[in-house]
Chains A and B, each alone.
Chain A
Amino acid sequence: DTEVTQTPKHLVMGMTNKKSLKCEQHMGHRAMYWYKQKAKKPPELMFVYSYEKLSINESVPSRFSPECPNSSLLNLHLHALQPEDSALYLCASSAMGAANTEAFFGQGTRLTVV
Chain B
Amino acid sequence: AQSVTQLDSQVPVFEEAPVELRCNYSSSVSVYLFWYVQYPNQGLQLLLKYLSGSTLVESINGFEAEFNKSQTSFHLRKPSVHISDTAEYFCAVRNYSSASKIIFGSGTRLSIRP
**Cβ B43 vs Cβ A42 within 8 A:** no
Which B92-114 residues have a C-beta within 8 angstroms of A?
Answer: 98-102, 104-107
Provide the residues of chain A in CB contact with B46, threshold 8 Å. 102, 104
Q: Which 7 A-B pairs have the closest CB atoms?
A: A42-B104, A31-B99, A50-B99, A105-B44, A107-B43, A105-B43, A96-B98
Q: Which A residues from 48 to 95 make CB contacts under 8 A with B?
A: 48-50, 55-56, 90, 92, 94
A residues contacting the other copy or chain, number (CB 8 A): 29
- A43 in the interface (beta carbon within 8 A): yes
Helix, strand, loop or mixed for chain B's interface? Answer: loop
Contact of A90 among B41, B43, B49, B105 (CB under 8 A): B43
In the complex, the answer to whether B43 meets A50 with C-beta atoms within 8 Å is: no
A103 — which chain B residues lie within 8 A by C-beta? 102
Q: How far is the CA of A11 from the CA of B19 in the complex (A)?
A: 37
Chain B residues close to A by CB (< 8 Å)? 32, 34, 36, 41-46, 49, 51, 90, 98-102, 104-107
Given the known A-B contacts A42-B105, A42-B106, A90-B44, are A48 and B99 also in contact in the complex, defined by CB atoms under 8 Å? yes
Q: Name which residue of chain A comes closest to B32, CB basis.
A: A101
Chain B residues near A48 (CB-CB < 8 A): 99, 101
Closest chain A residue, CB of each to CB of B88: A40
Task: Tell whether A113 is near chain B: CB-to-CB under 8 Å.
Answer: no
Residues of A within 8 A of B34 (CB): 102
- With contacts A43-B44, A94-B99 known, what are 13 further pairs, Cβ within 8 A? A6-B43, A31-B98, A42-B90, A45-B101, A50-B99, A55-B99, A90-B44, A92-B102, A101-B51, A102-B32, A102-B34, A104-B46, A105-B36
> Are the C-beta atoms of A108 and B98 separated by less than 8 Å?
no
Would you give 23 A-B contacts (Cβ < 8 Å), ordered by A? Answer: A33-B102, A40-B107, A42-B90, A42-B105, A43-B90, A43-B104, A45-B101, A45-B102, A50-B98, A90-B43, A90-B44, A92-B102, A96-B99, A100-B99, A101-B32, A102-B32, A102-B34, A103-B102, A104-B46, A105-B43, A106-B43, A108-B42, A110-B41
How near does chain A come to B70, taking the closest CB pair, in angstroms? 23
